[in-house]
Structure 1
Amino acid sequence: MSEQAPDTGADAEPSSDDDPENPYLRDPSTEFDPAETLSREDAEAQAELLREAVREHDRRYYVENDPVVADRTYDTLFARLEELESTFDLDRTDSPTGRVGGEPLDELETVDHVAPMLSIDQSGEVADVRAFDERVRREVGDEYEVDYVCEPKFDGLSVEVVYEDGRYTRAATRGDGERGDDVTRQVRTIESIPERLRGDHPDFLAVRGEVFMPRDAFREHNRERVERDEEPFANPRNAAAGSLRQLDPAVVAERPLDCFFYDVLGVGDDWDDAVDATADAAETSEWFETNLEEYERLREWGLQTVDLDEVERVDDVDGAIAYRDDLMERREGLNFEIDGTVIKVNDRAACAALGVTSRHVRWAFAYKFPARSEVTRVTDIVVQVGRTGRLTPVALLDPVDVGGVTVSRATLHNPEEIARLGVAVGDTVRVKRAGDVIPQVAEVVEKGESHDREDGEGSEDGPDGPENDHYAFPEHCPVCDSPVERDGPVAFCTGGLACDAQLERAIGHYATRRGLDIEGLGEERIEQLRDAGLLDSLPALYRLGREELADLEGWGETSADNLLREVEDAREPPLGDFLSALSIPSVGYSTANNLAREFERIEAFPLDADADFDAFEGRLQTVPDVGPTVARTVREFFESEENRAVLNDLLGEVDPQPVDVDEGTADALDGLTFVFTGSLSMSRSDAQELVRSYGANATGSVSGNTDYLVVGENPGQTKRDDAEANDVPVIDEDEFRELLEERGVEYPA
């Protein structure tokens, strides 16, 4: 096809699907000339047309559910856009290709909301719904005719999303309602959220939405996690919430998140105008006079809402109650989780008259669904060993229908929960879906016969005998037979590095940047090597052979050579890196380096059973950032015979290099406190660890005790405001580098 395309300015509105100027919207050709044959001007013009087309195809697919191109065609257009942006180093500020994630964040900044994200009153009792209706009619009197808009109450994570001049600029979690975590980069990866608004949109718009994981996507994602030997998410809401709080946007991009929008928080010419308008719902009547109309306008602007067939206007409270009852009957057929319905006064002027309290709006009410529960029999109790060593008992059940879902297993949480319930194999139990999703045993309805208990469980006197007739929790790990220890209500396997259930996680951490930074050894490859029987321990990593690697599917001689070279480079790591790589509980990168500076050589650690572990624990408590609890945890790691066996085997392959402490600079930054914000040439966490290793403190917030706020690119405003309020010097990265070099500290390290 011809590569000539009309120039498109950066501020142009997204093309509509009938735009004759854009050849990539309807029946697009997917044959392209090689990118290197284009001029930069032609490449920029084609890339802009592709961006507009991809945005429109995204809207058609996610918002309208009416795609006009095949998935394969879309993928080809997207790949071409990525190729042009990469070849010509084009700006991707608001390109659809930016949804893949980007560099990880060191922390989530806190930001102020455009307007408070208030809650609403809720109840599962019909009398409370009628009381809400009576109050509404009493307070608005005859001034307004009251009708209601009813909609599903989504069970996800509430977010604020801000558009300026029609462009996506910010997203934040609800937080405390006034302030929330800045998740701009994470939310940007959600494909149903547009980069630009469509149509006659306002100059400034702040909208509230609910991020969720669709049911079918949740099931598939959990299946994949289990296949990778990862802990599955408990329910879609936890999956959505946990995903958005990931510091690595690329991880979020891999998870099947979606979003429904349902409320306008602020609208106007600019930020200040929107905030002023938010104080009075009637001020938004220029854009919409009713809440039902608000839904319609959101869709016109390209924002996804729940299907309008699921939103209903009713004349009175009886209609609202009937809507809720009908939706409760149909809820299992929806592809998203709901836990009730929301009833809103439709007239926005009436909403303004009803007002808000400090915590909730007075013009809406949530009519909740009752929890689902059912009765069945426990056929067995098994104990799963998580990758952190935590033991979780699971009840296997005679299959039972709970709210339209067939349940055959339910969590028992921990040993204390088993004792509290008094549950054992053979008991008849009531099962409910906690959080309306994850099954759990709620109570024992009837004790089973003794012959249903295997191996005489519960038949002896004592804590697990007749007096407390319940399942006897194992005293040894079911995977590696190591002793089980309790930490409060939770049980852990003490096998550590020797426990096969924990090994994959240990190898993965060993290879990460926080460990020995072995490139090319990600989760999928570790799983593949484990399945092939090539990686049954940490030391086995150093015994991998070229031929056996090259024979694996998807490898080859080059891949094998690359990994073996990385592994060989990790044979003489710095002692601090080695300690950090061992997955010692409570020991992160900074603490590992502090331990290395104190002990200096690996031989100074207790590596045999005759070591004086009391003296070792006492010395640990002299290390910066190591208190009694961490000292005890580190002692237990080295005191474990299984861990020492793996460690000594590993030391046959690895020679951790002693710490060469320059006493002249060891405390070069002693007494100083730093706070970092924005993007630096190294990650903020590495910068924090660097200054800590030379005696300084590094904290996450500015106070009167802070000596310097170090500001990188795109810094958060909150920390700068706090620095000004506390008269704290603000320095950029070059000034920070000069400060360190004056004190004999190299930066970057």
Structure 2
Amino acid sequence: MTSAHSGPPNRYADPAENPYVEAPPTDFEPVEALSAEDAAEQASLLRAAVREHDHRYYVQADPLISDETYDRLYRRLEELEEAFDLSTEDSPTRRVGGEPLDELETVEHVAPMRSIDNATEAEAVREFDERVRRGLAAEGFDPDDVAYVCEPKFDGLSVEVVYEDGAYLRAATRGDGTKGDDVTEQVRTIRSVPGRLRGDPPARLAVRGEAYMPRDAFEAYNEELIERGEEPFANPRNAAAGTLRQLDPAVAADRPLDVFFFDVLAWGPGEGDGEASADSPERPDAHWDEFDAFDAFGLRRADRIERVDDVERAIEYRDRLMAERDDLDYEIDGVVIAVDDRAHREALGSTSRAPRWAFAYKFPPRTATTTVTGITVQVGRTGRLTPVAELDPVEVGGVSVSRATLHNPAEIEALGVNVGDRVRIYRAGDVIPYVPEVVEKRSEGTYEFPDTCPICDAPVERDGPLAFCTGGLGCPAQLDRAVEHWARRDALDIEGLGPERVEQLREAGLVESLPDLYDLTVDDLAALEGWGETSAENLVAELERTKAPPLDDFLAGLGIPDVGATTARALAAHFGDLDVLLDADEEALREVDDVGPEVAESIRTFLDTEENRAAVEGLRERGVEPESTDVETGDALDGLTVVFTGSLSTTRSEAQAHVEAHGASATSSVSGNTDYLVAGEDPGRSKRDDADDEGVPVLDEDEFADLLAERGVAWPPDADE
């Protein structure tokens, strides 16, 4: 017998009581018009609704609303929490990442996280089944009553996640099985990890999960790394492990991690709980039923799980999953076959290393050995040069492989590889095959990397382990990506100019450089396959709309290495005018916040490249002229660090921008470096407590206005007008 699995419905927010669940209104009244009580009520409803939408999108893959509507609800919640200091520990807005850590602390697990015995042969699985049945018979159980739960064996990073009274408490890596690295803030940023559990969870629940990076997200993220001139990850597992060990949680928040939960480590009363834990639900008697509990609590679990009562069906399950593994959006390296009944598990027990009631039936390794017949160098859309090994075709994991990446020139040097060498090839799912080692050196020396771009013949420059074509926007290989980058949402935001259309325009000879976009006509576009008069008119109108972009959007759209949206805003705020920025030397660039020596050099190199400068001038000749930004150069508040809390006479963001424009630093949390906490109406208790602990003076708004007046700065902000 084989059982499939489906869980009971449950919700974070009832649409009958919460207006922000189904067809939510997004035309909010100004924050200034709300009382503290109304703001708290709206924030509570939004918090529950955003949790519901996160669950529907990231766990159930069944969203209720559009991304745009979700963004509006999320921004409104952020706005309310900031203006009225309403943020909570389990708020969805906490997922953006906290303060950087000095190091990862070590924490002890609530229960051992053991490894599992494994093999790649079916006979070993049958022997495991025989041991289970003998062990159960010895303990007085009927061995014919045994059932197994079969699950994918994920190839990610195992984590322990602990909840107290339904609220997210902490997370840790597996480590040595007894203790691991504290990655609480990093895991908090993962959208499929609930900040608060649904339903009726036990007072204390510790669950084991596997953090991973989905394949499609992994490929997209690697593209972003390459675009920024950074080294891409070799595979999704490395990406997940590297992300969770980041000391800056904001970096983890920026990476597309996901998680599956698959086991209960602890279920019962919380630490220090009294009567509250007495009402905790009882733990299910079977592992299969624990998955129902996961569904009820809002914990994401795999959908490819089955319950079988015969080991041969477990073997068949593994064979099916191995055949389907390349169609999955996550990496698996086998299946886990685990005894279902908890009483059976307890009777079987564990060795010092592994449980006797579980076994991993792994897939064969996806490696092979072959000969390098040639090495070619590809030019990416950002100018990054990637060497590729041409191979004698060899079957790896059921797929014929004739090419494999060598990553970069530094990798070639480390491997010492050249044409004619015997190499090992590794392939995992949709990840590009790569060469991890040379197994037999048959050539003389190491492949010499070219000094010029194979596409445009421009000089090649090395940047650490990487190599780049210096042809910039004038290199045909980089054109598609440059245009796509220009059209991105965080740049010029040109609707209707996706990758397929960009490629079509280039192949039609209509766009051979970035400025050519602004030469397109409705007749040009309407003549292309798949275009109509309306879509052609819409794109031309979109392009016309972008001819007077904000300076920061213009800079972000150019695709300058190391310059994303945040740095572009800082550059625009500092220089205010494109011509001033174009003439700025590295020393002047380093005066901008977040621009260090390397970034300054990167900006100056980009702007000094003839092809890039020609593209900028070409855009301006076609009427694309970024708007200048008013630059405040006041330093009356230089050296002052303030934190705002509570409801002020102006919005929090306006208050921060105002003091920063006059040289002060406005931070979101109180520390020993804070000079003043400015408290409006209904201030947050946590910031007041932090101020008391750090000895930071607390000013009301009138006292703050007097302080600024002494330095010649008006308050509130509109008093300057």
What TM-score bracket applies, with the shorter chain setting the length? 0.5 to 0.7
Residues 191 and 258 of structure 2 are in contact (CA less than 8 Å); yes or no, is this contact kept in structure 1? no
Cα distance, 1:400–1:365 mapped onto 2, change above 3 Å = same
Name the counterpart of 1:492: 468
Residues 1:287 and 2:277 aligned together: no
In structure 2, C-alpha distance between the alignment counterparts of 1:201 and 1:310, rounded to whole Å? 24
Residues 193 and 259 of structure 2 are in contact (CA less than 8 Å); yes or no, is this contact kept in structure 1? no
Q: Which of the numbers 370, 379, 391 marks the counterpart of 1:385?
A: 379
Deviation of residue 219 (structure 1)? 7.8
| Equivalent residues in 2 for 1:89-488, closer than 5 Å | 94=52, 96=56, 97-98=63-64, 101=67, 102-103=70-71, 108-109=96-97, 116=109, 120=113, 122=115, 153-156=153-156, 176-177=181-182, 179-181=184-186, 186-187=191-192, 207-210=207-210, 218=215, 235=235, 237=237, 260-264=260-264, 267=267, 273=273, 286-288=282-284, 294=290, 298=294, 304-305=301-302, 309=306, 331=322, 334=325, 337-339=331-333, 372-433=366-427, 439-447=433-441, 466=444, 468=445, 470-488=446-464
In structure 1, the gaps of 5 or more residues are 1-12, 17-43, 52-80, 134-142, 450-465, 608-614
SS at match of 1:637: helix
Deviation of residue 415 (structure 1)? 1.0
Residues 1:631 and 2:619 aligned together: no
In structure 2, C-alpha distance between the alignment counterparts of 1:123 and 1:588, rounded to whole Å? 44
SS at match of 1:180: helix
**1:264 counterpart letter in structure 2:** V
In structure 2, C-alpha distance between the alignment counterparts of 1:671 and 1:479, rounded to whole Å? 51
Q: What are the superposed Cα offsets for residues 679-706 of structure 1, whole Å, 9 maximum, x if unpaired?
A: 99x9999998886555343667653113
SS at match of 2:414: helix
Cα distance, 1:402–1:736 mapped onto 2, change above 3 Å = farther
Deviation of residue 383 (structure 1)? 2.3
Residues 340 and 366 of structure 1 are in contact (CA less than 8 Å); yes or no, is this contact kept in structure 2? no
Deviation of residue 652 (structure 1)? 1.6
Deviation of residue 423 (structure 1)? 1.8
Name the counterpart of 2:512: 536
In structure 2, C-alpha distance between the alignment counterparts of 1:554 and 1:679, rounded to whole Å? 53
Deviation of residue 340 (structure 1)? 6.2
Residues 423 and 440 of structure 2 are in contact (CA less than 8 Å); yes or no, is this contact kept in structure 1? yes
In structure 1, C-alpha distance between the alignment counterparts of 2:335 and 2:579, rounded to whole Å? 64
**2:603 counterpart letter in structure 1:** V
**2:638 counterpart letter in structure 1:** D
In structure 2, C-alpha distance between the alignment counterparts of 1:524 and 1:691, rounded to whole Å? 45
Name the counterpart of 2:621: 652
Q: Which of the numbers 639, 653, 664 marks the counterpart of 1:671?
A: 639
Cα distance, 1:649–1:404 mapped onto 2, change above 3 Å = same
Residues 157 and 237 of structure 2 are in contact (CA less than 8 Å); yes or no, is this contact kept in structure 1? yes
In structure 2, C-alpha distance between the alignment counterparts of 1:221 and 1:656, rounded to whole Å? 34
Deviation of residue 556 (structure 1)? 4.8
Q: What are the superposed Cα offsets for residues 272-313 of structure 1, whole Å, 9 maximum, x if unpaired?
A: 7599989xxxx9993245657645765798974565557899
Deviation of residue 497 (structure 1)? 2.2
Cα distance, 1:703–1:482 mapped onto 2, change above 3 Å = farther
SS at match of 2:483: helix
Cα distance, 1:405–1:568 mapped onto 2, change above 3 Å = closer
SS at match of 1:471: coil
**1:108 counterpart letter in structure 2:** V
In structure 2, C-alpha distance between the alignment counterparts of 1:693 and 1:120, rounded to whole Å? 52
Residues 427 and 433 of structure 2 are in contact (CA less than 8 Å); yes or no, is this contact kept in structure 1? yes
In structure 1, C-alpha distance between the alignment counterparts of 2:590 and 2:251, rounded to whole Å? 33
Residues 670 and 695 of structure 1 are in contact (CA less than 8 Å); yes or no, is this contact kept in structure 2? yes
Residues 1:706 and 2:674 aligned together: yes
In structure 1, C-alpha distance between the alignment counterparts of 2:281 and 2:25, rounded to whole Å? 45
Deviation of residue 518 (structure 1)? 4.5
In structure 2, C-alpha distance between the alignment counterparts of 1:400 and 1:510, rounded to whole Å? 40
Q: Which of the numbers 609, 626, 635 marks the counterpart of 1:640?
A: 609
**1:515 counterpart letter in structure 2:** A
More displaced 10-residue stretch of structure 1: 491-500 or 561-570: 561-570
| Equivalent residues in 2 for 1:547-566, closer than 5 Å | 547-550=523-526, 556-557=532-533, 559-566=535-542
SS at match of 2:185: strand
Residues 455 and 476 of structure 2 are in contact (CA less than 8 Å); yes or no, is this contact kept in structure 1? yes
In structure 2, C-alpha distance between the alignment counterparts of 1:144 and 1:710, rounded to whole Å? 68
Residues 676 and 710 of structure 1 are in contact (CA less than 8 Å); yes or no, is this contact kept in structure 2? yes
Q: What are the superposed Cα offsets for residues 135-166 of structure 1, whole Å, 9 maximum, x if unpaired?
A: xxxxxxxx999999996532135577899999
SS at match of 1:396: strand
Deviation of residue 490 (structure 1)? 1.5
Name the counterpart of 1:461: none
Cα distance, 1:160–1:655 mapped onto 2, change above 3 Å = same
Residues 703 and 722 of structure 1 are in contact (CA less than 8 Å); yes or no, is this contact kept in structure 2? yes
Residues 120 and 364 of structure 1 are in contact (CA less than 8 Å); yes or no, is this contact kept in structure 2? no
In structure 2, C-alpha distance between the alignment counterparts of 1:119 and 1:707, rounded to whole Å? 46
Name the counterpart of 2:134: none
Name the counterpart of 2:35: none
Deviation of residue 486 (structure 1)? 1.0
SS at match of 2:264: strand
Q: Report the aligned-residue RMSD.
A: 6.6
Residues 674 and 697 of structure 1 are in contact (CA less than 8 Å); yes or no, is this contact kept in structure 2? yes
**2:282 counterpart letter in structure 1:** E
**1:377 counterpart letter in structure 2:** T
In structure 2, the gaps of 5 or more residues are 1-7, 29-44, 57-62, 75-92, 100-104, 129-137, 174-180
Q: What are the superposed Cα offsets for residues 111-152 of structure 1, whole Å, 9 maximum, x if unpaired?
A: 9999958773559899xx9xxx9xxxxxxxxx9999999965
Higher relative contact order (CA 8 A, sep 6+): 2
In structure 1, C-alpha distance between the alignment counterparts of 2:434 and 2:298, rounded to whole Å? 40
Residues 660 and 666 of structure 2 are in contact (CA less than 8 Å); yes or no, is this contact kept in structure 1? yes
In structure 2, C-alpha distance between the alignment counterparts of 1:735 and 1:98, rounded to whole Å? 47
In structure 2, C-alpha distance between the alignment counterparts of 1:88 and 1:686, rounded to whole Å? 21
In structure 2, C-alpha distance between the alignment counterparts of 1:300 and 1:446, rounded to whole Å? 55
In structure 1, C-alpha distance between the alignment counterparts of 2:389 and 2:260, rounded to whole Å? 35
SS at match of 1:186: coil
SS at match of 1:120: coil
In structure 2, C-alpha distance between the alignment counterparts of 1:517 and 1:160, rounded to whole Å? 40
In structure 2, C-alpha distance between the alignment counterparts of 1:389 and 1:556, rounded to whole Å? 34
Residues 207 and 266 of structure 1 are in contact (CA less than 8 Å); yes or no, is this contact kept in structure 2? yes
Cα distance, 1:640–1:260 mapped onto 2, change above 3 Å = closer
Cα distance, 1:172–1:550 mapped onto 2, change above 3 Å = farther
Cα distance, 1:208–1:658 mapped onto 2, change above 3 Å = same
Q: How many percent identity over aligned positions? A: 48
SS at match of 1:210: strand
SS at match of 1:392: strand
In structure 2, C-alpha distance between the alignment counterparts of 1:533 and 1:577, rounded to whole Å? 27
Deviation of residue 208 (structure 1)? 3.9
